[in-house]
Amino acid sequence: MKNFFSLFAAALLSAALVTGCSQPSAPAETVAPAGSLAAYFAPTETGVQDGNVQVIPISTPKGTFKVWTKRFGNNPKIKVLLLNGGPGATHEYFECMENFLPKEGIEFIYYDQLGCGNSDNPKDTAMWSLPRYVEEVEQVRQALKLDNTNFYLLGHSWGGILAAEYAFKYQQHLKGLVISNMMMSCPAYGKYADDVLAKQMKPAVLAEIRKIEAAKDFANPRYMGLLEPNFYAEHLCRIVPNPEPVSRSLGKINQSLYVTMQGPSEFGISGKLTHWDRVPDLPKLTVPFLAIGGKHDTMDPEHMRMIATKVKNGASLICPNGSHMSMYDDQQTYMAGLVKFLKAVDDGSFKAGTTL
């Protein structure tokens, strides 16, 4: 009898394991209502789910490389591709978007440009070229199947330069364009740093900074030791210590890319972008356009207001407590204005000339 019960129990366990490990037939698929939470998080891929990561091959003059993207949410009418700054930082400082855009049903897409974060790094300064990056963004757009019924491009800092250059060539693919915390003239940016921001520093501090710069002693730890409390904490991000995603992203910056394009610091500009100036061409932009600035930014807030008047369909948002990282240090203003713009363009209520 004991053997019988032992065999019977083993049979039951075996049956349970077979039942538990077998793959039941899939239930009939139901379509979630548009705009619902289920629709926003509905899978768009078949097979094993990977968190909506898509690694995209990019053709370049130096061969094929891979860049990393990750979609958050699903909205067939509003898809925001995020272009990080630096140049050479990562998508990670955009993680604050996760606390604001999903509850509005807005899809956004993280993207590490070539040489940044999770993407390939060719380690070749010839690849750090604005025209080449424009073609990279276009290849990403094609791979993600974005078009003018849903494609919004948001570029922050260097990403704003890249977004603008992309729009000048490919605006027919855009539904909306957001230039965040980036002037459309690097000479004007350098002049603002020299004529306005530098004069806000203590004279002794500024004199020591200029002495180090004159000697090109940028590796001297004293240089950043002076800039961080006297410039970065005032104009880059006014939350000190910086929010963790900002520190994590900037801690991974590709110095080769940054110095080649920007120069040794945020205190003015001296790299490949030194002479970049697109202000005269702004009237060519006809796509709905939002310029975002901050009162305490490294970028002149009056310039940000001005560029919104130069394009055909522009609006501006100046964050009164914001710096270069206004999405953190004036977060509520930044996010409310961004969401308002995206939704207004989508529902057709957007009006040029507004101040958000």
Return the active site residues: 157, 297, 324
- C-alpha distances out from residue 216 to 54, 219, 270, Å: 41, 8, 12
Closest CA to 123 of 62, 210, 35, 184: 62
Taken in order 118, 123, 125, 126, the sign of the CA dihedral is negative
Which ranges in the chain belong to alpha helices (H)? 2-21, 37-40, 130-144, 158-170, 186-192, 203-214, 221-227, 244-250, 255-261, 301-310, 326-329, 331-347
Residue 130, CA distances (Å) to 177, 195, 237, 316 in order: 18, 27, 26, 25
Distance CA 282, CA 90 (A): 28
Residue type present at position 351: K
Tokens, residue 31 = 């379509």
Bridge pairing between strands 63-72 and 107-112? antiparallel
**Cβ pair 129, 135 in contact under 8 A:** no
Strands 314-319 and 289-294: parallel
Place of tokens 């909506």: 52
* Residue 348 per-residue DSSP state: T
- Cα distance between residue 25 and residue 94, in whole Å: 40
Strands of 53-60's sheet in order across: 53-60, 63-72, 107-112, 79-83, 151-156, 176-180, 289-294, 314-319
